[in-house]
Structure 1
Amino acid sequence: MTKTRHYTFMALAGLTLAGCIYEDNGLVFTNQAPQVSSVELPDQVLTVGRPLTISRAENLFWDDDPLTLTATSSDSTVVAVSMALGEGSYSLTFDPRSPGMATVSIIATEPEGDGSGDEQQPQGRSVTRTVGVTVVESAPRRAP
Protein backbone atom coordinates (compact mmCIF):
# COMPACT_ATOMS: atom_id res chain seq x y z
CA MET A 1 0.00 0.00 0.00
CA THR A 2 2.83 2.42 0.76
CA LYS A 3 4.33 1.75 -2.66
CA THR A 4 1.00 2.55 -4.33
CA ARG A 5 0.76 5.85 -2.45
CA HIS A 6 4.32 6.67 -3.42
CA TYR A 7 3.64 6.17 -7.13
CA THR A 8 0.33 8.02 -6.94
CA PHE A 9 2.09 10.95 -5.29
CA MET A 10 4.84 10.91 -7.89
CA ALA A 11 2.31 10.93 -10.73
CA LEU A 12 0.51 13.87 -9.14
CA ALA A 13 3.78 15.73 -8.61
CA GLY A 14 4.76 15.08 -12.22
CA LEU A 15 1.54 16.61 -13.50
CA THR A 16 1.69 19.72 -11.36
CA LEU A 17 5.38 20.27 -10.74
CA ALA A 18 5.25 23.68 -12.42
CA GLY A 19 2.85 24.80 -9.69
CA CYS A 20 4.99 23.62 -6.76
CA ILE A 21 7.44 25.21 -4.42
CA TYR A 22 9.80 23.33 -2.14
CA GLU A 23 9.42 23.87 1.57
CA ASP A 24 10.96 21.89 4.43
CA ASN A 25 12.26 19.26 1.99
CA GLY A 26 8.72 18.49 0.82
CA LEU A 27 6.45 19.63 -1.93
CA VAL A 28 3.93 22.34 -1.21
CA PHE A 29 1.47 22.99 -3.98
CA THR A 30 0.57 26.63 -4.56
CA ASN A 31 -2.15 27.97 -6.78
CA GLN A 32 -0.88 29.77 -9.86
CA ALA A 33 -2.47 32.84 -11.42
CA PRO A 34 -4.14 32.41 -14.83
CA GLN A 35 -1.86 32.93 -17.82
CA VAL A 36 -2.24 33.81 -21.48
CA SER A 37 -1.90 30.63 -23.56
CA SER A 38 0.22 30.22 -26.67
CA VAL A 39 -2.91 30.17 -28.88
CA GLU A 40 -2.51 33.04 -31.33
CA LEU A 41 -5.12 35.78 -31.59
CA PRO A 42 -3.89 38.27 -34.20
CA ASP A 43 -5.31 41.74 -34.71
CA GLN A 44 -8.50 41.61 -36.77
CA VAL A 45 -9.77 43.51 -39.83
CA LEU A 46 -13.56 43.20 -39.93
CA THR A 47 -16.30 44.48 -42.22
CA VAL A 48 -19.28 46.46 -40.90
CA GLY A 49 -22.23 44.12 -40.35
CA ARG A 50 -20.19 40.88 -40.59
CA PRO A 51 -19.67 39.52 -37.06
CA LEU A 52 -16.81 37.19 -36.19
CA THR A 53 -17.28 34.48 -33.55
CA ILE A 54 -14.37 32.68 -31.93
CA SER A 55 -15.39 29.33 -30.44
CA ARG A 56 -13.67 27.86 -27.40
CA ALA A 57 -12.34 31.24 -26.29
CA GLU A 58 -11.23 29.64 -23.01
CA ASN A 59 -8.28 28.21 -24.96
CA LEU A 60 -6.83 31.73 -25.11
CA PHE A 61 -5.84 31.27 -21.45
CA TRP A 62 -4.36 28.60 -19.21
CA ASP A 63 -5.08 27.78 -15.57
CA ASP A 64 -5.75 24.72 -13.42
CA ASP A 65 -8.90 26.37 -12.05
CA PRO A 66 -12.11 27.03 -13.98
CA LEU A 67 -11.99 30.54 -15.44
CA THR A 68 -14.67 33.16 -15.99
CA LEU A 69 -14.18 35.10 -19.22
CA THR A 70 -15.40 38.62 -19.95
CA ALA A 71 -14.70 40.97 -22.86
CA THR A 72 -14.87 44.74 -23.35
CA SER A 73 -14.34 47.07 -26.30
CA SER A 74 -12.55 50.41 -26.07
CA ASP A 75 -15.17 51.78 -28.50
CA SER A 76 -18.43 49.87 -28.78
CA THR A 77 -19.62 52.19 -31.56
CA VAL A 78 -16.85 50.67 -33.72
CA VAL A 79 -16.98 47.07 -32.48
CA ALA A 80 -19.18 45.61 -29.77
CA VAL A 81 -18.13 42.37 -28.10
CA SER A 82 -20.02 39.68 -26.26
CA MET A 83 -19.04 36.51 -24.46
CA ALA A 84 -21.46 33.58 -24.27
CA LEU A 85 -21.14 30.37 -22.28
CA GLY A 86 -22.81 27.34 -23.80
CA GLU A 87 -22.23 23.63 -23.28
CA GLY A 88 -19.16 24.28 -21.12
CA SER A 89 -17.38 26.45 -23.68
CA TYR A 90 -17.11 30.20 -24.25
CA SER A 91 -17.78 31.92 -27.57
CA LEU A 92 -16.43 35.42 -28.17
CA THR A 93 -18.27 37.50 -30.78
CA PHE A 94 -16.96 40.68 -32.40
CA ASP A 95 -19.83 42.76 -33.87
CA PRO A 96 -18.35 45.41 -36.22
CA ARG A 97 -20.67 48.44 -36.29
CA SER A 98 -18.87 51.36 -37.94
CA PRO A 99 -15.49 52.07 -39.56
CA GLY A 100 -12.68 52.79 -37.14
CA MET A 101 -10.27 51.17 -34.71
CA ALA A 102 -10.79 49.74 -31.23
CA THR A 103 -9.03 47.50 -28.75
CA VAL A 104 -10.84 44.49 -27.34
CA SER A 105 -9.78 43.27 -23.90
CA ILE A 106 -10.49 39.67 -22.96
CA ILE A 107 -10.21 39.02 -19.22
CA ALA A 108 -9.87 35.59 -17.59
CA THR A 109 -10.55 35.46 -13.85
CA GLU A 110 -10.04 32.51 -11.53
CA PRO A 111 -12.48 31.83 -8.65
CA GLU A 112 -12.09 33.62 -5.31
CA GLY A 113 -11.35 30.44 -3.34
CA ASP A 114 -12.57 29.87 0.19
CA GLY A 115 -10.87 32.91 1.78
CA SER A 116 -8.77 30.74 4.09
CA GLY A 117 -5.49 32.20 2.89
CA ASP A 118 -4.40 28.69 1.93
CA GLU A 119 -1.89 29.02 -0.92
CA GLN A 120 -3.50 26.02 -2.62
CA GLN A 121 -6.74 27.96 -3.06
CA PRO A 122 -7.38 30.23 -6.06
CA GLN A 123 -7.07 33.91 -5.20
CA GLY A 124 -9.47 35.55 -7.68
CA ARG A 125 -6.61 36.79 -9.86
CA SER A 126 -7.09 37.72 -13.49
CA VAL A 127 -5.10 38.21 -16.67
CA THR A 128 -6.00 40.32 -19.69
CA ARG A 129 -5.34 39.68 -23.35
CA THR A 130 -5.91 42.40 -25.96
CA VAL A 131 -6.54 42.37 -29.68
CA GLY A 132 -6.67 45.32 -32.04
CA VAL A 133 -9.71 45.55 -34.30
CA THR A 134 -9.97 47.65 -37.46
CA VAL A 135 -13.45 47.90 -38.94
CA VAL A 136 -13.86 48.78 -42.62
CA GLU A 137 -17.01 49.72 -44.56
CA SER A 138 -16.66 46.92 -47.10
CA ALA A 139 -14.27 44.06 -47.66
CA PRO A 140 -11.10 45.00 -49.55
CA ARG A 141 -11.22 43.90 -53.19
CA ARG A 142 -8.68 41.38 -54.36
CA ALA A 143 -6.66 42.01 -57.48
CA PRO A 144 -7.66 39.78 -60.44
Structure 2
Amino acid sequence: MSEEFMKVIVFQLKEEEYGVPVKYVGSIERMQNITRVPGTPEFVKGVINLRGVVTPIIDLRERFDLEITEYTESTRIIIVNIADKEVGMIVDSANDVIDIPESTIEPPPEVVGSVEADYIHGVAKLDKRLLILLNLDKVLSKDELKQIQTVEGTS
Protein backbone atom coordinates (compact mmCIF):
# COMPACT_ATOMS: atom_id res chain seq x y z
CA MET A 1 0.00 0.00 0.00
CA SER A 2 1.47 3.36 -0.97
CA GLU A 3 1.82 6.19 1.48
CA GLU A 4 -0.65 9.07 1.08
CA PHE A 5 0.79 12.58 1.24
CA MET A 6 -0.73 15.96 1.98
CA LYS A 7 0.90 18.92 0.24
CA VAL A 8 0.95 21.94 2.57
CA ILE A 9 2.19 25.51 2.60
CA VAL A 10 4.26 26.09 5.73
CA PHE A 11 4.03 29.46 7.44
CA GLN A 12 5.11 30.97 10.73
CA LEU A 13 3.33 32.77 13.53
CA LYS A 14 5.59 33.65 16.42
CA GLU A 15 7.95 30.67 16.83
CA GLU A 16 5.39 28.09 15.69
CA GLU A 17 5.18 26.52 12.26
CA TYR A 18 1.76 25.98 10.75
CA GLY A 19 0.59 24.25 7.62
CA VAL A 20 -2.39 24.79 5.38
CA PRO A 21 -3.24 22.37 2.54
CA VAL A 22 -2.13 23.71 -0.84
CA LYS A 23 -5.55 22.90 -2.32
CA TYR A 24 -7.04 25.79 -0.28
CA VAL A 25 -4.35 28.32 -1.22
CA GLY A 26 -4.88 30.68 -4.12
CA SER A 27 -1.69 32.69 -3.78
CA ILE A 28 0.85 34.15 -1.39
CA GLU A 29 1.15 37.94 -1.52
CA ARG A 30 3.50 40.50 -0.05
CA MET A 31 2.05 42.85 2.53
CA GLN A 32 0.13 45.74 0.97
CA ASN A 33 -2.14 48.58 1.96
CA ILE A 34 -5.29 47.31 3.60
CA THR A 35 -8.44 49.42 3.61
CA ARG A 36 -9.98 49.31 7.09
CA VAL A 37 -13.67 48.48 7.24
CA PRO A 38 -15.65 49.80 10.23
CA GLY A 39 -17.78 47.45 12.31
CA THR A 40 -15.77 44.29 11.70
CA PRO A 41 -14.15 42.07 14.34
CA GLU A 42 -10.76 43.31 15.58
CA PHE A 43 -8.82 40.58 13.73
CA VAL A 44 -10.39 41.55 10.38
CA LYS A 45 -7.87 44.12 9.18
CA GLY A 46 -9.98 45.23 6.20
CA VAL A 47 -9.91 44.54 2.48
CA ILE A 48 -7.46 44.68 -0.41
CA ASN A 49 -8.06 44.84 -4.12
CA LEU A 50 -6.34 41.73 -5.41
CA ARG A 51 -6.33 41.62 -9.20
CA GLY A 52 -9.78 43.21 -9.30
CA VAL A 53 -11.25 41.11 -6.49
CA VAL A 54 -12.08 42.72 -3.15
CA THR A 55 -10.55 40.32 -0.64
CA PRO A 56 -11.07 40.51 3.15
CA ILE A 57 -7.87 40.22 5.20
CA ILE A 58 -7.60 38.71 8.68
CA ASP A 59 -4.60 38.81 10.98
CA LEU A 60 -3.98 35.26 12.22
CA ARG A 61 -1.94 36.49 15.18
CA GLU A 62 -4.95 38.44 16.42
CA ARG A 63 -7.31 35.61 15.50
CA PHE A 64 -5.31 33.22 17.67
CA ASP A 65 -4.79 35.77 20.49
CA LEU A 66 -1.03 35.89 19.96
CA GLU A 67 0.94 39.04 20.68
CA ILE A 68 0.64 41.56 17.88
CA THR A 69 3.85 42.66 16.18
CA GLU A 70 4.84 45.07 13.46
CA TYR A 71 4.65 43.73 9.93
CA THR A 72 8.06 43.10 8.43
CA GLU A 73 9.69 42.47 5.07
CA SER A 74 8.86 38.76 5.47
CA THR A 75 5.18 39.26 6.43
CA ARG A 76 2.92 37.58 3.89
CA ILE A 77 -0.76 37.38 3.08
CA ILE A 78 -1.84 33.84 2.22
CA ILE A 79 -4.97 33.94 0.09
CA VAL A 80 -7.13 30.93 0.96
CA ASN A 81 -10.55 29.72 0.00
CA ILE A 82 -12.82 29.23 3.02
CA ALA A 83 -16.40 28.16 2.32
CA ASP A 84 -16.19 29.48 -1.26
CA LYS A 85 -14.85 32.84 -0.07
CA GLU A 86 -11.41 34.21 -0.81
CA VAL A 87 -9.85 35.40 2.45
CA GLY A 88 -6.33 36.68 3.06
CA MET A 89 -4.53 35.56 6.22
CA ILE A 90 -1.64 37.69 7.47
CA VAL A 91 1.24 35.50 8.67
CA ASP A 92 4.78 36.29 9.85
CA SER A 93 6.31 34.47 6.90
CA ALA A 94 5.47 31.75 4.41
CA ASN A 95 8.41 29.39 4.29
CA ASP A 96 7.94 26.51 1.91
CA VAL A 97 5.73 23.86 0.38
CA ILE A 98 6.21 20.34 1.66
CA ASP A 99 4.62 16.92 1.33
CA ILE A 100 3.57 15.47 4.66
CA PRO A 101 3.05 11.71 4.92
CA GLU A 102 -0.55 11.25 6.16
CA SER A 103 0.79 8.69 8.67
CA THR A 104 2.71 11.44 10.53
CA ILE A 105 -0.44 13.47 11.21
CA GLU A 106 -1.87 13.04 14.68
CA PRO A 107 -5.13 14.43 16.04
CA PRO A 108 -4.73 17.77 17.78
CA PRO A 109 -3.86 17.77 21.47
CA GLU A 110 -6.36 19.46 23.79
CA VAL A 111 -4.46 22.74 23.75
CA VAL A 112 -1.58 23.70 21.49
CA GLY A 113 0.14 26.78 22.85
CA SER A 114 -2.53 29.44 22.86
CA VAL A 115 -4.27 28.41 19.66
CA GLU A 116 -7.59 26.80 20.40
CA ALA A 117 -7.77 23.18 19.34
CA ASP A 118 -10.88 23.94 17.25
CA TYR A 119 -8.72 25.62 14.64
CA ILE A 120 -6.41 22.65 14.38
CA HIS A 121 -6.84 19.73 12.02
CA GLY A 122 -3.87 17.86 13.40
CA VAL A 123 -0.20 17.97 14.22
CA ALA A 124 2.46 16.51 11.94
CA LYS A 125 5.76 15.29 13.38
CA LEU A 126 8.54 15.74 10.85
CA ASP A 127 12.08 14.98 11.97
CA LYS A 128 12.71 17.73 14.51
CA ARG A 129 9.79 19.89 13.37
CA LEU A 130 6.28 19.99 14.73
CA LEU A 131 3.81 21.36 12.21
CA ILE A 132 0.36 22.54 13.32
CA LEU A 133 -2.14 21.90 10.52
CA LEU A 134 -4.97 24.42 10.40
CA ASN A 135 -8.59 23.52 9.91
CA LEU A 136 -9.56 26.46 7.71
CA ASP A 137 -13.27 25.75 8.08
CA LYS A 138 -12.92 26.53 11.79
CA VAL A 139 -10.61 29.56 11.58
CA LEU A 140 -13.67 31.69 10.80
CA SER A 141 -17.10 30.85 12.18
CA LYS A 142 -20.17 30.99 9.93
CA ASP A 143 -21.17 34.29 11.57
CA GLU A 144 -17.73 35.75 10.97
CA LEU A 145 -17.84 34.63 7.35
CA LYS A 146 -21.20 36.40 7.00
CA GLN A 147 -19.69 39.57 8.47
CA ILE A 148 -16.83 39.31 6.01
CA GLN A 149 -19.24 38.80 3.13
CA THR A 150 -20.86 42.07 4.16
CA VAL A 151 -17.40 43.66 4.03
CA GLU A 152 -17.08 42.53 0.43
CA GLY A 153 -20.45 44.03 -0.37
CA THR A 154 -21.65 40.71 -1.75
CA SER A 155 -24.24 39.95 0.88
Q: Where on the TM-score scale, by shorter chain, does this alignment land: which range?
A: under 0.3
Please say which structure displays the higher CA radius of gyration: 1
- Larger relative strand fraction: 2
TM-score normalised by the chain length of structure 2? 0.23
TM-score normalised by the chain length of structure 1? 0.24
